[in-house]
Amino acid sequence: MTQLRTDLLPADPAGIATAARLLRGGQLVAFPTETVYGLGADAGNADAVAALYAAKGRPAENPLIVHLPDAAAAQPLARFPPHALRLAAAFWPGPLTLVLPRADSAALAPAVSAGRPTVALRVPAHPLAQALLRAVRRPVAAPSANRSGKLSPTLAADAMAGLSGRIAAVIDGGACAIGLESTIVAVDAAQLRLLRPGAIGADLLAEAAGAPVTAAAQDPNAPVEAPGQLATHYAPEAVLRLDVTAPDPGEVWVGFGPGCDGAALSLSDTGDLAEAAARLFATLRAADRLAAEGGGRIGVAPVPDHHLGLAINDRLRRAAAPRE
Ligand code: AMP
Ligand code: MG
């Protein structure tokens, strides 16, 4: 792969205009959303999409989320059953991705769907993402702006650290407010399946859609519905242990809530789940740096398994999964 100069672009009209020009020219640009930083490519340009897979080292079977500025721009790309229209009306713009039957006429590079008959669509709310998508005027494929298998970036510096030399630019929009990747729900005529938990919980989805939301198949022999959801994802370099209330000697302890005296770092001193989500990936990166100087091990205090805690624990379990 040729070494590129990766520019850090300011979050102003000039930075957005430069980013839009680069994307329209088939280059790759990382940009902030309210969830995490995404790595954008023109979703209609097969070469740009191929370059995106290469820059991330992303397996070819892992499809991409296509980003649009509004629901009207999303409409021609997929068939929206009534449930999907209700979810789009309720949660777009916002941290929700809908996996829908792809429209035959959708002008998207086939690799976006990685061989599936579906396409994942999202309308992000972040003002910079909105401004960029409006300026590009094309659907933008944007997986998280990290090398495949690594922690998602929630700061421009994290995207830069992972992808510098491999992409054209990063827009610096500061820290991402939510900090966890979007909720992904697959919608077909009959049902709604939660493929990835996120800030919008299954209860809210079911209420807005007027239909139950089932969890994606957990049967290891079932076909994989969201390949990016395979176990060893979001991995720090260190070995990570969960539900740690008493750290082992040499283990970097990441606390949650009061009562974690002696923890090197904390997801939230007060036990605030929104704060913990926003800080999760940056804290794991910081823990990883500390662990690299010591025993190479991280222990994370228990995080309650409700509301945003469900999505936080989903990411923590993947970070703790045994590595291949
Ligand atoms: P990322 O954008 O890095 O958060 O990854 C995108 C996630 O969306 C991955 O887990 C993909 O497997 C999932 N995804 C994207 N498109 C589809 C699709 N057509 N069907 C199922 N999952 C998808
Ligand atoms: Mg990702």
Strand ranges in 191-312 using DSSP code E only, listed in sequence order: 192-196, 213-215, 239-241, 252-255, 265-266, 297-300
Angle formed at CA 83 by CA 81 and CA 85, multiple of 5 degrees:
70
Assess whether pLDDT exceeds 70 at residue 265: yes
Q: Measuring CA to CA, which residue among 133, 125, 44 is closest to residue 88?
A: 125
Kindly report, residue by residue over 186-245, the tens digit of the pLDDT: 998 778 999 999 999 999 999 999 999 998 765 445 556 666 555 556 789 999 999 999
272 band by pLDDT with thresholds 50, 70 and 90: very high
Average pLDDT on 96-114 reads 98
Average pLDDT on 12-22 reads 98
Domain ranges, ordered by start, for the chain? 7-215, 239-320
Going from the Cα of 261 to the center of ligand 2, the distance in angstroms, rounded, reads 33
User: What percentage of the chain has pLDDT greater than the value 90?
Assistant: 89
Going by CATH, does the domain composed of 7-215 fall within 3.40.50.970? no
Assess whether pLDDT exceeds 80 at residue 42: yes
Strand ranges in 27-160 using DSSP code E only, listed in sequence order: 29-31, 38-42, 65-67, 96-101, 118-122, 140-141
Assess whether pLDDT exceeds 70 at residue 9: yes
Kindly report, residue by residue over 209-219, the tens digit of the pLDDT: 999 999 876 54
Residues with CB under 6 A from ligand 1: 62-65, 99, 113, 116, 118-120, 143-144, 181, 184, 195-196, 225-229
The two three-digit tokens of residue 136, written as one number: 């590009």
pLDDT of residue 231: 55
CA 316 – CA 324 distance, rounded (Å)? 17
CA 160 – CA 169 distance, rounded (Å)? 8
Q: Measuring CA to CA, which residue among 142, 113, 151 is closest to residue 33?
A: 142
Assess whether pLDDT exceeds 70 at residue 281: yes
276 band by pLDDT with thresholds 50, 70 and 90: very high
Assess whether pLDDT exceeds 60 at residue 126: yes
18 band by pLDDT with thresholds 50, 70 and 90: very high
Q: Which of 53, 64, 146, 224 to mutate to test the pocket of ligand 1 (most atoms within 8 A of CB)?
A: 64
Going from the Cα of 65 to the center of ligand 1, the distance in angstroms, rounded, reads 6
Mean pLDDT, the chain, integer: 94
Q: Measuring CA to CA, which residue among 309, 236, 227 is closest to residue 267?
A: 309
Contacts of 127 (CB under 8 A, 6+ apart): none
pLDDT of residue 233: 64
Average pLDDT on 130-141 reads 98
Work out the burial of residue 193: count CB atoms within 10 Å of its CB; fewer than 13 is exposed, 13-18 middle, 19 or more buried: middle
Radius of gyration over every alpha carbon of the chain, rounded to an integer in angstroms: 19
Kindly report, residue by residue over 61-77, the tens digit of the pLDDT: 999 999 999 999 999 99
Q: Measuring CA to CA, which residue among 125, 135, 132, 112 is closest to residue 71?
A: 125
pLDDT of residue 224: 65
Assess whether pLDDT exceeds 80 at residue 170: yes
pLDDT of residue 229: 59
Instruction: Tell me which of 144-158, 226-240, 286-300, 310-324 is least confident.
Output: 226-240
Which atom of ligand 1 approaches the CA of 113 most closely?
19
Average pLDDT on 104-119 reads 97
Average pLDDT on 147-165 reads 97
pLDDT of residue 96: 98
* Nearest ligand to residue 150 Cα: 2
Going from the Cα of 225 to the center of ligand 1, the distance in angstroms, rounded, reads 9
The two three-digit tokens of residue 145, written as one number: 């702006």
Contact (Cβ atoms closer than 8 angstroms) between residue 122 and residue 65: yes
165 band by pLDDT with thresholds 50, 70 and 90: very high
Assess whether pLDDT exceeds 90 at residue 1: no
Assess whether pLDDT exceeds 90 at residue 19: yes
The two three-digit tokens of residue 141, written as one number: 């494929």
